[in-house]
Structure 1
Amino acid sequence: MIKYLPSIFCLTILLAGCKENPKPVVIGLDGREFFEPERSPEQQFKLEKELEEARHDFDNDATENNYIWYGRREAYLMHFDKALEIFSEGIERYPESFSLYRHRGHRYITIRKFDMAIADFRTAVKLMDGAPVLSEEDGIPNKLNIPVSTVQFNVWYHLGLAHYLKGEYEDAAKAYETCLTYCDNDDLLIATADWLFITYNRLQRKEDAVAALNKVPEKVTIIENETYLKRLNMYKGLNPPELLLAVEEGSESADLAFATQGYGVGNWYLIQGDTTRAKDVFKRVVEGPYFSAFGFIAAEAELLKLK
């Protein structure tokens, strides 16, 4: 037994070194490294338990849906490379699955590979042509545990976002215009109208931007997109920008809200021609912890353009 002690000792040192020098899960547009965040024991246990259940289902039957959920659960733990590997293997086995392309494209956005995301969403658009609209179950349920989106909506929404993040505003506008046709509830309409409003403003299509705002009625029923509603009300002059920046810290939902609302505020300052205040807000957003949020990624992209 004694002769194995050096090997055991070396392995212990190696594992300790891995914990001390973790691998980044994302490299930001500005070159910063981002790591898997620390979580409460309860949250970590929940995420790992859900992953284990998804892996068990997959091991028992590698269906298209089980590929999707296995990959999604890995991504919720911020194991993005593993999630992409699973989605890619699923696509090899189910090449007609526009849902798998939709989810892989989403995670390409997360790791800032926008061209690869666009390619996946474009493939999904072709594959889903003529297919029935598919409701998409939430991996992180909203407060009422009611799914509000569809696969088709998500393909067009994320395609618009990927083009927007690249500064391809004409293509982004076209994608969001199509996305509107899949908005069958106020949550989807509010989010799409928001991105369409700011995209039209980038294109100096001011009348179209106002028309996008006017697509949202005064009274809406929303389940999960309160942050986008606050942004829209700011554009309409109903909410001061300071209100959107006054987000209580200390929770994952608050971090996401600040990234989303903060990007909206910074973008609003840009529309008003106040570049200095816009940059200040974008910097605050990217100093936050929620590096996978679309608002965070968009703020990174803006700061690179404003250098």
Structure 2
Amino acid sequence: MTFTPYAALPTDLVDEIAGAGLDPEAIYADIARALGEDLPGGSVDTTSAATIPLEARGRADFAAREPGVVAGLGVAEMVFRYVMGNDVQVSDRLPDGTSVAAGDVVLRVAGPTRGLLTAERTALNVASHLSGVATATSHWVAALEGTNARVLDTRKTLPGWRALQKYAVRCGGGVNHRFSLSDMAMVKDNHVIAAGGVVPAFEAVRAAYPDLPIEVEVTDLDQLRELLDAGCDRILLDNMSTALMAQAVGITAGRAVLEASGGLTLERAREVGATGVDFISVGALTHSVKVFDIGMDLVDE
């Protein structure tokens, strides 16, 4: 099977992916690696080759099996185009971030039947996982409605999938935390131990990288007060009780952005948001999310 080079992709699809803050060329390379797992060494889809005539053409629907928020459908289209190039027609693709009900068609594809089935699993893997991230995020957003708190992701992402998973968080209404170890400094408990305290750690980072945003993790109110006096303007409240977080908000009085983290559950989200914290960070959005159930069904015509 001959696959489509990146340069042959439709310009509007490339522009759409780039406009979402993603690197379309890097994603296309990931798609190539994923298809390489299914077809190692240029092998063929043996089942499809044996059961489907080479000239057969078909149409298939991607349908949601449950309610949720979809994401990654543009990337799924890239998978089909990688396999079939301009010999595939994609229609009725819902915008990423759309809320859907069970049974809703989110994407339609038509082309060589062998190609549709060869691309199926990789396309579904992408769309199901990213829609799972978006859906989970939307549940936290809904739980925080009526408070000023917003849900943040973390760096607890699958290797190589960070940009896509963080994109899916945005599709679900969440906010991205730092993308790497260099675009923001985050002083955690081990840094505090190594530096000899929260303030020495904060001041060391500020001296080394004066223009870099800095966030420092605290576990008690004394550390919070010390950091506020030192001028720290972003503080993470780690594994604090709801009552302690409410006290922290009162002590801070708007002098710093406060982020709650550690031991948080969806059931606790509203009460934590009601304390007045600015953000709630949730690693589970990406590191242990349940995939969203999407199926691909060939349609008799």
Normalized against structure 2, the TM-score is what?
0.28
Higher-Rg member (1/2): 2
Structure 1 or 2: more strand by fraction = 2
